[in-house]
Amino acid sequence: RLVSSLDPVTSRMKMMRKALLLLLACVLSSVLAKGKVEELTPQNFKSTVLDSDATWAVSFYAPWCGHCKALAPEWEKLAKAISPTVRVGSVDADKHKDLGGKYGVQGFPTIKIFGKDKSKPEAYQGERTATAIAKHLLLHVTDAVNSALGGGKPK
């Protein structure tokens, strides 16, 4: 009887231990992070993004695009603020048209979020500022943490 009354406590302690380990991993990785935008190409996209457990924010851009040039400093700011919790990359989709085409890129810049299901990236349509994009990305991180803890999406 005594053991069965401790089961909820033991279960809660295990969940807390997992949460603390996840938090520790995030803190350690943030200390070690470079915090820069990673240049992605057809040669490294699969191994870097698709085979990764991390959530990725990827900007498909063209070097001549005015909106892309305006996004660039915000994208750099985002990478410094949110890496490695979320990794941030860019694809020159003008140069690598096949890679952009594979993900339905029709205009520049196109931002895609590669979350848990890498085969179904989400098109980000929000404001093009580091703060707005980071807020959106943190929702993905929260969902992933809740899922890892067995809690599903928060209500």
Q: Is residue 66 in some structural domain?
A: yes
CATH classification at residue 108: 3.40.30.10
- DSSP output for the chain: -HHHHHHHHHHHHHHHHHHHHHHHHHHHHHHH----PEEE-TTTHIIIIIT-SSEEEEEEE-TT-HHHHHHHHHHHHHHHHHTTTEEEEEEETTT-HHHHHHTT--SSSEEEEE-S-TTSPEEE-S-SSHHHHHHHHHHHHHHHHHHHTT--S--
Q: Tell me the per-residue pLDDT of 94-131, one tens digit each, with 9 for 90 and over.
A: 999 999 999 999 999 999 999 989 999 999 999 999 99
Distances (CA, A) of 134 to 80, 89, 102, 107, 109: 11, 14, 25, 22, 17
Q: What is the CA radius of gyration of the chain?
A: 18
Q: Is residue 121 in some structural domain?
A: yes
Domain that holds residue 126: 34-149
Q: Is residue 98 in some structural domain?
A: yes
Q: What's the number of domains the chain is made of? A: 1
Q: Is residue 86 in some structural domain?
A: yes
Q: Is residue 12 in some structural domain?
A: no
Cα–Cα distance, 140 to 143 (Å, whole number) = 5
Q: Is residue 18 in some structural domain?
A: no
Q: Is residue 89 in some structural domain?
A: yes
Q: Tell me the per-residue pLDDT of 59-106, one tens digit each, with 9 for 90 and over.
A: 999 999 999 999 999 999 999 999 888 999 999 999 999 999 999 999
Positions annotated as catalytic residues are 65-68
The half-sphere exposure of 95 on its side-chain side, counting CA atoms within 13 A, is: 12
Q: Is residue 7 in some structural domain?
A: no
Q: Tell me the per-residue pLDDT of 30-39, one tens digit each, with 9 for 90 and over.
A: 434 458 999 9
Confidence (pTM): 0.74
pLDDT exceeds 70 at position 57:
yes
